[in-house]
Structure 1
Amino acid sequence: MTQERLGRQRQFVRFWTADTVSLAGTHVTTLALKAVAVLTLGASATVAGLLESARWLPYLLFGLVAGVLVDRRRRLPLLVASDFARAAVLVLIPVLAFTGALTVPLLAAVVVVFGTLSLFHDAAHQSFLPRLVPAAQLTDANARLEQTRSAAQGVGPLVGGALVKFVGGPAAFLVDALSYLVSGLVLARLRTVEPEPVPARRDLRGEIRDGMRWVYRHRVLRPLALATHAWFFCSAMVGAVYTVFVLDALAFDAFAFGVTFAVGGVGGVLGASLSGPAGRRFGEGPVMLAGRWLSPAAYALLPLATPTAGGFALLCAGQFVFYFAIGLESPVEMGYRQFVTPDHLQGRMNATMRSFNRAMIVFGAPLGGFLADRLGPATALWIAVGGLVAQAVAITCSPVRGARL
């Protein structure tokens, strides 16, 4: 199916619009959170890594339960409610900052609450799309969402860097709060009729086991999930180190930091534009493998950077290739997962994979920060690149290479 045909579907366009608005704000906050931690609160690499992991801790603690609850309920009301709640929570950060009460522990507590709400939103979001578009359009629909996600990845940090530089980090959180409010209002206007949820067994553990059994016993989903867990672990190490490496070791300012992500966003949009055609031409499996090999190649450029114009260009090139890889791979991966999973297991499948993926951030980000403090940022980055190479080798030797819709 073509983008034009998806563009004629009013309900998908509204869903796409809401997703675009909220993602733009999310990436403003992602940069603002790191900048506030390092520049305002004076956090070390280890503390910055712990703060990053706090956002994803709810995925480790409650992720599997969230999948069961999403499968027991209609998904659209969950999307709307979680957007409104996230808007309210984020307003707390500038309020605490303006009253002089903001500390690292308080910031971490707010981030944990925000992460819990995002957990339920994400599980419902990924499970709602198969109810919105036909199965044959899932890859293209995911590609459209990935394009705007990549664009937001680029524009959000750029705007966030400018806001941090000119009005301060805490004020940047107001932009994200507004974006979630707008997203919730747009989603509330959707008129998609959802089927009645499958009657709950009221056996929480059994339902969780059903979701995990589906993922980890499936011939393709199992190696895909395991390799993706490793990818998230190593990428989280890079994420924790990158902030301190750029802002502290290389002494670039917050705006330049944001520019590197903006360049990455361009790469992501390009990758997402090619994802659907590449999947149809070469097959979903080979496209996934290409993305997994491009990731370590991209991040291998980062530790080579120096505090010069050439070093800044290396940072931008690394982010461009990395997000190109994500944009290329993510739509075909998500389309495949949604295509092979029955509707009544969508919530649990997505929550299982997403929860363990985000759990890897909980452990990977602090480890990256610890290694950076002990061995230096460049060494920590090389260790993470080695891990990304290992996961690329593993997934190449698995049945994922033959995955097809």
Structure 2
Amino acid sequence: MPADFWKLWTSSAVTNLGDGITMVAGPLLVASITDSPAAVAGAVFAQQLPWLLFALVSGAWADRLDRRKLVVTVNLMRAVALGGLAVAVGSGAASVPLIYAVFFLLGTGETLADTASSAFVPALVPAERRPVANSLLYANFNVLNQFAAKPLGAWLFVVAAAVPFGVNALTFALAAALVAAIRSVPPPEKRPPARLRTDIAEGVRWLARHRLLRTLALTMAVGNVVFSAAFAVFVLYAEQRLGVSDVGYGVLLVAFAVGGLLGTLVAPTLIRRLGSTALLRAGLLIEVALHATLALTREPVVAAAMIVVFGVHTTIWGVVVTTIRQRDVPSSMFGRIASVYAFLDLGGAAVGSLVGGAVATAYGLVATYWTAAAAMALVAVAAWRPMAAGDAAPARQRTI
């Protein structure tokens, strides 16, 4: 890999660690101020809300501005925001509204930085090495954000409530320095002035005309609706259906991360040997199998094994889809296409959480998983043929 890629990878590593620390410490901080469940949940929502409000706008900006400078600036601003929160916590001046405001700023910065950085790998890494590069970046999330950061964030909060936020501020400052040192990302293409609405519409139209990427985006949106619907009540399912303790519930959650980590190890090899089409289609079947297995089984071991398989699939699916986007999307469109995917991703998750609670209340926990299995079976039928284009050449893709 080029040296600039390793700067990007290290930047991704430290920000994933910092994000994971704050993901744990944030709710703990709110809970130390108030015992309101709604207030604690509000901290998570405050960081997710900008994706629903600004994702498409951020994609348009990311395609017009210098992406490297944008990421550096946003990371520095997030470092300042978290540093301010750390000072407030340390001085006893932190309040729930202040925490919400900081988390909202973090989420807003995330919409810009994540969208802009989606164009980095194609600029830094040759096409034949991108599956490996994407797997390495996914490994940062699975190992650092999902594994290492969670216990570390809780421990740092116990040491001193301000410490985890100060540590996260330092990770953003370090990430900004690393991205600033990258020299291989080209400046944005010069484009005529246009309204943001025009830029956004152009990106949406481009995606709508691309059969494979359109299918993948819609599949992901529906998949997130049914997944979030099913797992919004997963803690109740684990206790009432599987009969596990709180520790057992935690083990089931870790099974997702274990599968994700395994997926990062095998994704490049499987893409090379089986091709994108076979992996995408297999992923559709695994989606159906996950929900059907959870609807049928009462054995925690069976559920955990299926969750590990699903975790492997989600990482492989992510690497394949990211690689296809890097292959087919013009550089001038990267930000907008990535923002549409993010909007559908989080939008589907938000809708699914509401649907899951309603279905479980009306028809029972198991009905939620049967509904998810049926929905994904229909998606698999609809998406099966378009996914035949997964291994096609880019030039052909744009004519579909």
Q: Per the shorter chain, which TM-score range? A: 0.7 to 0.9
The answer to whether residue 280 in structure 2 is matched with residue 293 in structure 1 is: no
1:240-294 deviation line (CA, Å, top 9, x unaligned): 44467679996626xx766544443332122122222222222212212222332
Residue 330 of structure 2 is matched in structure 1 by: 342
The answer to whether residue 91 in structure 2 is matched with residue 125 in structure 1 is: no
The answer to whether residue 328 in structure 2 is matched with residue 328 in structure 1 is: no
* Aligned counterpart for 2:246 among listed residues 241, 245, 252: 252
Residue 7 of structure 2 is matched in structure 1 by: 14
Distance 2:93 2:355 in 1: 30
Gaps of 5+ in 1: 1-5
* Aligned counterpart for 1:59 among listed residues 45, 51, 56: 51
Letter in 1 for 2:348: M
Distance 1:337 1:63 in 2: 17
The answer to whether residue 252 in structure 2 is matched with residue 264 in structure 1 is: no
Provide closer, same or farther for how the CA distance between residues 122 and 173 of structure 1 changes in structure 2, counting only shifts above 3 A: same
Q: Is the 8 A contact 2:74 2:109 kept in 1?
A: yes
Q: Is the 8 A contact 1:49 1:240 kept in 2?
A: no
- 1:301: Cα distance to partner? 5.8
SS in 2 for 1:329: helix
1:58-89 deviation line (CA, Å, top 9, x unaligned): 22222222111111112111112222222333
Distance 1:209 1:375 in 2: 40
Letter in 2 for 1:252: D
Q: Is the 8 A contact 2:157 2:163 kept in 1?
A: no
Letter in 1 for 2:176: G
- 1:227: Cα distance to partner? 0.8
Residue 360 of structure 1 is matched in structure 2 by: 348
Provide closer, same or farther for how the CA distance between residues 27 and 355 of structure 1 changes in structure 2, counting only shifts above 3 A: same
1:103-182 alignment, distance < 5 Å: 103=96, 107-156=99-148, 158-160=150-152, 162-163=154-155, 166=158, 172-182=164-174
Provide closer, same or farther for how the CA distance between residues 400 and 47 of structure 1 changes in structure 2, counting only shifts above 3 A: farther
Distance 1:371 1:174 in 2: 41
Residue 396 of structure 2 is matched in structure 1 by: none
The TM-score with structure 1 as length reference comes to 0.80
Provide closer, same or farther for how the CA distance between residues 235 and 181 of structure 1 changes in structure 2, counting only shifts above 3 A: farther
> How many aligned positions are there?
389
- 1:48: Cα distance to partner? 6.9
Distance 2:263 2:251 in 1: 19
Residue 389 of structure 2 is matched in structure 1 by: 402
Provide closer, same or farther for how the CA distance between residues 161 and 317 of structure 1 changes in structure 2, counting only shifts above 3 A: farther
The TM-score with structure 2 as length reference comes to 0.81
Gaps of 5+ in 2: 394-400
Bigger radius of gyration among the two: 2
* Aligned counterpart for 2:276 among listed residues 281, 284, 306: 284
Distance 1:187 1:273 in 2: 25
Q: Is the 8 A contact 1:53 1:366 kept in 2?
A: no
Q: Is the 8 A contact 2:264 2:316 kept in 1?
A: yes
- 1:39: Cα distance to partner? 9.0
SS in 1 for 2:187: coil
Distance 1:194 1:279 in 2: 28
Letter in 1 for 2:328: V
Distance 1:305 1:31 in 2: 31
- 1:130: Cα distance to partner? 1.1
The answer to whether residue 67 in structure 2 is matched with residue 75 in structure 1 is: yes
1:313-371 deviation line (CA, Å, top 9, x unaligned): 56654542232111111111111111011111111111122222222233333444565
SS in 2 for 1:72: coil
Provide closer, same or farther for how the CA distance between residues 81 and 146 of structure 1 changes in structure 2, counting only shifts above 3 A: same
Distance 1:376 1:33 in 2: 32
Q: Is the 8 A contact 2:75 2:175 kept in 1?
A: yes
Residue 26 of structure 1 is matched in structure 2 by: 19
- 1:34: Cα distance to partner? 5.7
Q: Is the 8 A contact 1:66 1:119 kept in 2?
A: yes
Greater shift after overlay, 329-338 or 363-372? 363-372
Identity of aligned residues (%): 27
- 1:120: Cα distance to partner? 0.5
Distance 1:85 1:169 in 2: 21
Greater shift after overlay, 179-188 or 215-224? 179-188
